């Protein structure tokens, strides 16, 4: 099966430290783990995560392991789900200061080149938009 990489970015009205902290806190609105049906999150190198997301009338389970955590600049973890066809993919997030804001760059590598794999781009765009909106409200 052919694999592709998905890249998205967004300028967030907050410091890299603030964005980093929200990203790794399941109780903080705007982060990728917030609002999921169920979450288990151990945000440290070799820490595992599981979260179940309600989407299109069903639950989607996601699993992974954190491989890099460098506050406040970089988070990397593996990612396995039905949408990756069970293949282990990698999500790398970098946080770069830009004029008092933070440019969040997310690259998801090794997703299947099919409808479900390509759907990760829309999912990550939605997630970064939710993150931006949470900080805009503060």
What ranges do the domains of the chain cover?
Answer: 3-137
pLDDT value of residue 19: 98
CA angle 117, 41, 73 (to 5 degrees): 75
Is the confidence at residue 32, as pLDDT, over 90? yes
pLDDT value of residue 137: 86
Check: CB of residue 76 under 8 Å from CB of residue 91: yes
pLDDT band at 51 (very low <50, low <70, confident <90, very high): very high
Cα–Cα distance between 112 and 18 in angstroms, integer? 32
Cα–Cα distance between 64 and 93 in angstroms, integer? 14
Structure-token pair, residue 107: 């690259």
**% of the chain residues with pLDDT over 70:** 100
CATH superfamily of this structure's domain 3-137? START domain (3.30.530.20)
DSSP state of 121: H
Reported residue count of the chain is 138
Is the confidence at residue 15, as pLDDT, over 90? yes
Q: How far apart are the first and last CA of the chain?
A: 44
Q: What share of the chain is helix, strand, coil (3-state, %, to 5)?
A: 25, 45, 30
pLDDT value of residue 50: 98
pLDDT value of residue 31: 93
pLDDT value of residue 56: 84
| Confidence (pTM) | 0.95
Closest alpha carbon to 38 in 60, 56, 20, 65: 60
């Amino acid at each position: 099966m052919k694999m592709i990489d998905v890249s998205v970015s967004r300028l967030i009205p907050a410091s890299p430290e603030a964005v980093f902290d929200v990203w790794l806190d399941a109780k903080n609105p705007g982060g990728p783990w917030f609002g999921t049906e169920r979450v288990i999150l151990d945000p440290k190198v070799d820490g595992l995560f599981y979260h179940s997301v309600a989407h299109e009338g069903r639950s989607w389970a996601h699993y992974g392991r954190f491989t890099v955590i460098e506050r406040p600049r970089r988070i990397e973890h593996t990612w396995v789900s039905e949408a990756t066809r069970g293949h282990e993919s990698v999500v790398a997030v970098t946080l770069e200061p830009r004029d008092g804001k933070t440019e969040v760059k997310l690259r998801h590598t090794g997703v299947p080149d099919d409808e479900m794999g390509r759907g990760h781009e829309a999912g990550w765009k939605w997630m970064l938009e939710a993150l931006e909106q949470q900080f805009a409200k503060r």
